Amino acid sequence: MTKSPAIAVMGASGRMGQMLISQVSAHEGMTLTGAVERAGHDWIGQDVGVAMGGAALGVIVTDDAAAAIGTASAIIDFTAPAATLAFAAHAAKSGAVHVIGTTGMTAEDIAKLEPFAEKTVIIRAGNMSLGVNLLTLLTKKVAAALDADFDIEIIEAHHHHKVDAPSGTALMLGEAAAQGRGVALEDVSDRGRDGITGARKRGDIGFAAIRGGDIVGEHDVMFAAPGERIVLRHIASDRTVFARGALKAALWGQGREAGAYDMLDVLGLNDA
Ligand SMILES: NC(=O)C1=CN([C@@H]2O[C@H](COP(=O)(O)OP(=O)(O)OC[C@H]3O[C@@H](n4cnc5c(N)ncnc54)[C@H](OP(=O)(O)O)[C@@H]3O)[C@@H](O)[C@H]2O)C=CC1
Ligand SMILES: O=C(O)C1=N[C@H](C(=O)O)C[C@H](O)C1
């Protein structure tokens, strides 16, 4: 008997893709029905469980995203910006809930999702863990309580394969800090310092990125004033925290009104 809802995982061979395949296939309340990779990938045509080095899961990896999305109740997508936009068009057409973990999307990319969110449920977050989403609320509160004597710096560290910076999480935290301060992040964001940068501008929100080894994801929000410093920190030591959030989002989105949502909506924390 088929369990419901039917879930397709995009980018099945990726670090997050494999984690998601394992969690969806082990979940009692959902059925893995699709595993998508790009055309030419050597997993295409293989059972996804076997390709991952384990037991067969009865789902063949496909490059036919439209077909996999067309039969899914929800798709979970931790891939790359161009792929995510292409999958969004298919999901809008079929009505599948689209859970987006992909980072590195530009403001223009995000704007392109808007018409799709009129047709189906899109849940997008640069970090799907409970801890980081709580940290955004704490960051907003602390930023609102302090004035610009406290310089806000966001420091993130990730594995050496990561292709985008600042991380999606760092940008979420920067956005939360800016909201707390009552300013627009694009007006105060200071990214990529190098060379003779001049002194730090009062009120700026700075970003710094570290890349090395197998670091899963670490984020500090520092409030630094003369004589004292507050640091809010989140450390992810296992990617399951992101996958768990994504599965929760896929279930939460079922039967919901079309629209653009985030993990605070899923966690019921948007009014906190
Ligand atoms: N929101 C969150 O909580 C989290 C977000 N992320 C984000 O998720 C994304 C993926 O991360 P990660 O798993 O580490 O990266 P990987 O590079 O390991 O995985 C990405 C996968 O997507 C595949 N892919 C890319 N384009 C397509 C396409 N057109 N069709 C099908 N598959 C495609 C890639 O295939 P190929 O190798 O052939 O390019 C690869 O298998 C990143 O943006 C990362 O920042 C990561 C963790 C948590
Ligand atoms: O690429 C990653 O690995 C991660 N990406 C997300 C981000 O850009 O913040 C979330 C997490 O930190 C891991």
> Is the interface score ipTM higher than 0.85?
yes
Q: Cβ(168) to ligand 2 under 6 A?
A: yes
- The alpha carbon of 230 and the centre of ligand 2 are apart by a number of angstroms equal to 23
**CB 166, CB 209: distance < 8 Å:** yes
> CATH 3.30.360.10 region(s) of the chain?
130-236
CATH of domain 130-236: 3.30.360.10
Task: For 194-228, write each residue's pLDDT tens digit.
Answer: 999 999 999 999 999 999 999 999 999 999 999 99
Query: Which residue ranges does the chain devote to CATH 3.40.50.720?
Result: 6-124+239-267
154-165 burial, b at 16+ Cβ within 10 Å, e below that, comes to bbbbbeeebebb
Rounded to two decimals, the pTM is 0.98
234 lines ligand 2 (CB under 6 A): no
| pLDDT at site 22 | 98
Question: In this structure, which long-range contacts are made by residues 108-116, counting pairs with CB atoms below 8 Å and at least 24 apart in sequence?
Answer: 109/81, 109/84, 109/85, 112/85, 112/88, 113/85, 113/88, 113/260, 114/260, 116/88, 116/89, 116/91, 116/92
With 0-12 CB in 10 A as exposed, 13-18 as middle and 19+ as buried, what is 65? buried
CB 41 within 8 A of CB 13: yes
Minimal-distance CA residue to ligand 2 atom 10: 127
Confidence (pLDDT) at 2: 47
Q: Which of the following is catalytic: 90, 98, 140, 158?
A: 158
Residue 87: the pLDDT is 98
Mutate which of 13, 21, 79 for ligand 1 pocket (most atoms within 8 A of beta carbon): 79
Closest CA to 78 of 110, 45, 40, 125: 125
Nearest to 125 by CA among 270, 232, 11: 270
- Tell me what pLDDT residue 3 has: 54
26 annotated among ligand-binding-site residues: no
Both structure tokens of 266: 């899923």
Contact 100, 76 (CB under 8 A): no
pLDDT for 271 equals 75
Q: What is the pLDDT of residues 127-186, one digit of tens each?
A: 999 999 999 999 999 999 999 999 999 999 999 999 999 999 999 999 999 999 999 999
Residue 6 predicted with pLDDT over 80: yes
The pLDDT value recorded for residue 91 is 98
pLDDT higher than threshold 80 for residue 1: no
Structure tokens belonging to residue 77? 């997508």
21: left (phi over 0), alpha (psi -120 to 50) or beta: alpha
Residue-wise pLDDT tens digits, 43-60: 999 999 999 999 999 999
- Residue 272 pLDDT class (50, 70, 90 cuts): confident
67-86 pLDDT tens trace: 999 999 999 999 999 999 99
Catalytically annotated residue among 162, 201, 219, 234:
162
Cα(231)–Cα(134) distance, integer angstroms: 15
d(C-alpha 143, C-alpha 165), whole Å: 23
**What span, in angstroms and rounded, lies between the C-alpha atoms of 81 and 100?**
10
Please say whether the beta carbons of 259 and 92 come within 8 A.
Answer: no
11 is in an annotated binding site: yes
Q: What dotted CATH number matches 6-124+239-267? A: 3.40.50.720
What rounded mean pLDDT belongs to the chain?
97
pLDDT of residue 104: 98
The alpha carbon of 50 and the centre of ligand 1 are apart by a number of angstroms equal to 20
Structure tokens at 129: 């863990």
Residue 124: strand, helix, or coil: strand
**pLDDT (tens digit per residue) in 231-269:** 999 999 999 999 999 999 999 999 999 999 999 999 999
Separation of CA 142 and ligand 1 centre (Å): 33
